[in-house]
Amino acid sequence: MLLLYMSTNAVGQTKTTDLDIEDAVKTASLQNRSILLARLDERIARENYGQTNALFLPHVNISYTAFTTNNPLNAFGSKLQQQIIAPSDFNPATLNAPNATSDVMTKLSVQQPIFNMDMLYQRKAMASQAELYHYKTERNIEFIAWQVKQVYLQLQLAWEVNDVMQEALNTANATYKATNDRFEQGLLQKYELLNVEVEVKNLEARCAASRANVANASDYISLLMNKDQGVLYRTKQVTFDEQKDSIDLLPHDRADFRAMEAAVSSYNYMISSSRAGCCPRINAFGDYQLHDKGLFGFSANSYLAGIQLSWDIFNGSQTVHKTNVLLLERNKLVQQLEDTKAQGLTELSKAALELTVASYKIRQQTEAVTQAEEALRIVQNRYEQGLVTTTDMLLSQTQLSQQKLAYAQAVYDRNSARIYLQFLTINHLQSEKK
């Protein structure tokens, strides 16, 4: 059983509202903080993948630069770019000690990727990363749904315990009244009345504790739904499809399995990208320039266009070791995936066994409650006739309360095992339909 969230507002909660389990799950799937963060991570991953569109699209840059210089090489080059070279500019004295020369350059640069095999694999790796975060979000939604259902069942159990304790308290108060009447008539000893008083005080304390448990569970479910706390939720009857109780296989396409498989796929592409780093790269480039000696002048123009082939022949064995690291991390992740599946099978078997045991307990407790009710009826009749002691009466009442509590606990255990089985065996297609 999950630990109940300890509310600081357990005392003084007065507002009570009905809550259906499906409504609670739907609200949590839309508003739970953990899910909202997971969706943000998924969007970040998609945007990171979108950045890889640069592998196909041109890179365009425009710049406007103005400067003045008396550096011999730059001064001559500036005049040459402006197409204003004259015979006098070849005078050695002018070449060696030119006057200050100004140049204003407007430049448009274009780079067009053509063939970059390593970047293609990196793009595929980023696509797998986006897929990974999609499945992580999906599994997070499934986990929160299971957690909401679990707390809902806890809340339902808390209400049932509270009802049993209140019923027991009412019965004990009635017993106290009858005992006190007989004591005043001199038919009973003082200690018998004191025993009933002790039982009443004990039940009052247990009723207060059960109400606190209702408040705690209500606050926890509010936390999961990202709603204000301080509200007591009344649960409704939860029904389950018993045909699903016999599931004994894990789905291969469960969201967390798919997430880990996407991570393995991402590593495979990164390994391919690392190896493709040794392949040549082909990219096109081009520049268009305007030069003038004055601001906002565009008197001279020129262009430069070409294709570049580059090839990293050797990078100090960095690629080899980087690839080996990626291979080891990929193999580690594959082992983790197999371990996760093995643990899932173990948890599945455990949950199925718990379901069987809880179903058996329900049948047993149903009979036990019936027998305890009959026993209490007989003892009450004999008590009214003065044939049994007050202690016998209290023991019979306590036994009935215990059997009812045991029955409620068995129902909770069965339902808890059912929702855990559903959590273990849900596949991503079922999850997306929801």
Q: Is pLDDT larger for residue 188 or for residue 428?
A: 188
Reported as a single tens digit per residue, the pLDDT across 132-191 is 999 999 999 999 999 999 999 999 999 999 999 999 999 999 888 988 888 888 777 888
**Closest-CA residue to 148 (of 242, 220, 256):** 220
Q: How far is residue 84's CA from residue 104's CA, in Å, rounded to a whole number?
A: 14
DSSP 55: G
Helices (H), ranges, 283-384: 318-384
Fold of 15-58+115-280+316-433: Outer membrane efflux proteins (OEP) (1.20.1600)
User: How many other C-beta atoms lie within 10 A of the C-beta of residue 255?
Assistant: 25
Reported as a single tens digit per residue, the pLDDT across 51-109 is 999 999 999 999 999 989 999 988 888 888 888 888 887 888 888 888 898 989 999 99
CB 79 within 8 A of CB 89: yes
Handedness of CA 378, 382, 383, 387 (dihedral sign): negative
Q: Which residues contact 402 (CB under 8 A, 6 or more apart)?
A: none
Q: How confident is the model at residue 433 (pLDDT cuts 50, 70, 90)?
A: low
Residue with tokens 């706390």: 229
Q: How far is residue 198's CA from residue 194's CA, in Å, rounded to a whole number?
A: 6
Q: Which residues contact 364 (CB under 8 A, 6 or more apart)?
A: none
Q: How far is residue 179's CA from residue 169's CA, in Å, rounded to a whole number?
A: 15
C-alpha angle 320-321-324 in degrees, rounded to nearest 5? 90
Confidence at residue 79, expressed as pLDDT on a 0 to 100 scale: 85
For the chain, give every domain's residue range: 15-58+115-280+316-433
pLDDT higher than threshold 50 for residue 325: yes
Q: How confident is the model at residue 432 (pLDDT cuts 50, 70, 90)?
A: low
- For 383, the 3-state DSSP assignment is helix
CB 281 within 8 A of CB 309: yes
Mean pLDDT for 365-390 is 90
Q: Output the pTM of the full model.
A: 0.85
**Closest-CA residue to 179 (of 383, 372, 374):** 383
pLDDT higher than threshold 90 for residue 258: yes
Q: How far is residue 67's CA from residue 292's CA, in Å, rounded to a whole number?
A: 11
Cα→Cα distances 434→35, 140, 240, Å: 15, 14, 16
Mean pLDDT for 293-313 is 85
CB 67 within 8 A of CB 102: yes
Backbone angles phi, psi at 17, to 5 degrees: -140, 150
Residue 230 Ramachandran class (φ > 0 left, ψ -120 to 50 alpha, else beta): left
Confidence at residue 11, expressed as pLDDT on a 0 to 100 scale: 39
**Closest-CA residue to 40 (of 137, 129, 123):** 137
Mean pLDDT (the chain) is 89
Confidence at residue 141, expressed as pLDDT on a 0 to 100 scale: 96
**Closest-CA residue to 394 (of 210, 197, 207):** 197
